[in-house]
Amino acid sequence: MAGSRRTVSLAAALAVEVALLAGALTVVGAAGAGQHADRVPIARAPATVVIPTGPGRYVFDCGTNAEAHRNTANVVVTPGVAGPEHHVHDYVGNRSTGVDSTDASLLRGTTTCTNGDLSTIYWPVLRAGGAHSAILHPASVRMEYLAAATGPVVAAPRGLRAMTGDARAATTGTSGIRAWTCEDSEDRRTDRYPRCPDGREVRRVFDFPSCWDGVRTDSAGHRRHLSFAGPDGACPPRTFAVPRLRVTVGYRVSGDFTVDAFPEQHRSPRTDHGIMINLAPEPLMAEIVACLNANRTCQ
C-alpha cells in the first residue's frame, strides 16, 4: 500500500514537472514568435518628466508614411552604407532619402510635409513579431516645434543633424529614452513596451535636443553640437535655443509588437530612437521662430 502511494506521488510530481516544462516551452516559443518580456501596463508606468517648454507651439503635417518610404539607410550615422545588419526605418518629410543621399540631393527632392519642409525625419519601424515579421504602419504622426522655456529661440541652421535615443542602448548600458506611452495616457512614459487599454494607440514620443552650439551642424557621434536643455528648460552656457522638435507616432496594435533593432539588441524597447536632418527653407524656419517667440499656437 505504501509502495502504491509512493508510486502515485512520484507520478504526480512528474506530471507537475512536465506541465511546468510545457508552460516554459510555450512562453519561450511565443517569445520567439515576437512576444517580448519587457512590457508594462501603462497605468504602472512612471509619471512623465519632460523638459519644460514655453507656450509657443508650431504644429505641422507630414503624413504617416502612406507611401511606405522605408529602407535600411542611416544617412546621418552611416552615410553611404546599407545592408541586412541594419534595421529598417520609416520616413516622413523628404521623399528622396536613401543610402546615398546628401544635403544637396535632399534639397532637390520633394516632401510629404504640407508646409514645404524638406527635412528628413525617421525612426525604426515596429514589427508585429520578431525579426522580418510584418511591419506595422503608423496610424497617426503628430509633428510639432516647441518654444524654449527660458527665452526666445533662434533659427536652426539648414543641415542641422539631431538625434534622440540610442539604437544600441541594450548593450552600451545607456538608459535609453522613455519614448513609449499610450493614447490618452501621455502623462506616463516608459522605456518598456506599454500595454495600452483596448482601443487606444500605442505611441512613441521622440523629443529632440534643442540647444545648439552656434557653430556646427554635426559633430563626432552626432550629439556634441546639439544638446538637451536642463531640468528647468534652460540651455547650457554658450549654447542657443532652437525650436524643439517633438514627433509622436501612434499605432493601432491588436497583439504584441517589437521595435526593429540590431540583432544583438534583441528588440529591446530601450533602443528606440529618432533622427532628423533640418532642411526647412529659411522663410519657413523664420515663420516657425516668429510663432514660437510670440507664444502662439500655429498650424
For residue 35, the model assigns a pLDDT of 53
* 56-70: average pLDDT: 99
Which of 81 and 54 is assigned the larger pLDDT? 54
pTM above threshold 0.85: yes
pLDDT at 176: 73
Type and span of the H or E element at 146? strand 140-146
Q: Write out pLDDT tens, residues 152-163.
A: 999 999 999 999
Cα–Cα separations (whole angstroms), residue 205 to 78, 186, 214: 24, 9, 26
pLDDT interval class at 86 (50, 70, 90)? confident
Kindly report the three-state secondary structure assignment for every residue of 150-200. CCCCCCCCCCCEEEEECCCHHHHCCCCCCCEEECCCCCECECCEEECCCCC
- pLDDT over 60 at 53, yes or no: yes
CA distance 93 to 88: 16
State yes or no: pLDDT of 26 exceeds 50. no
pLDDT-derived band of residue 36, with 50, 70 and 90 as boundaries? low
State the Cα–Cα distance between residues 79 and 72, nearest whole angstrom: 11
Report the range out of 33-47, 61-75, 127-141 with the highest average pLDDT: 61-75
Predicted confidence at residue 25, as pLDDT, reads 31
pLDDT value at residue 84: 65
Q: Mean pLDDT throughout 235-253?
A: 98
Task: Record the cell numbers describing residue 33, joined without a space.
Answer: 514568435
User: Which burial class, exposed, middle or buried, applies to 16 when counting CB atoms under 10 A from its CB (0-12, 13-18, 19+)?
Assistant: exposed
pLDDT value of residue 174: 80
Please give the average per-residue pLDDT across 213-228, as a whole number: 96
Ranges 5-19, 196-210, 254-268: which has the least confidence: 5-19
Average pLDDT over residues 132-142: 96
Return the pLDDT at 132: 82
Domain ranges in the chain are 1-32, 39-298
pLDDT above 60 (res 18): no
Q: Is it the case that residue 238 has pLDDT exceeding 60?
A: yes
Identify the pLDDT of residue 52.
95
Q: Rounded mean pLDDT of the chain?
A: 89
CA 189/CA 49 separation, integer angstroms: 8
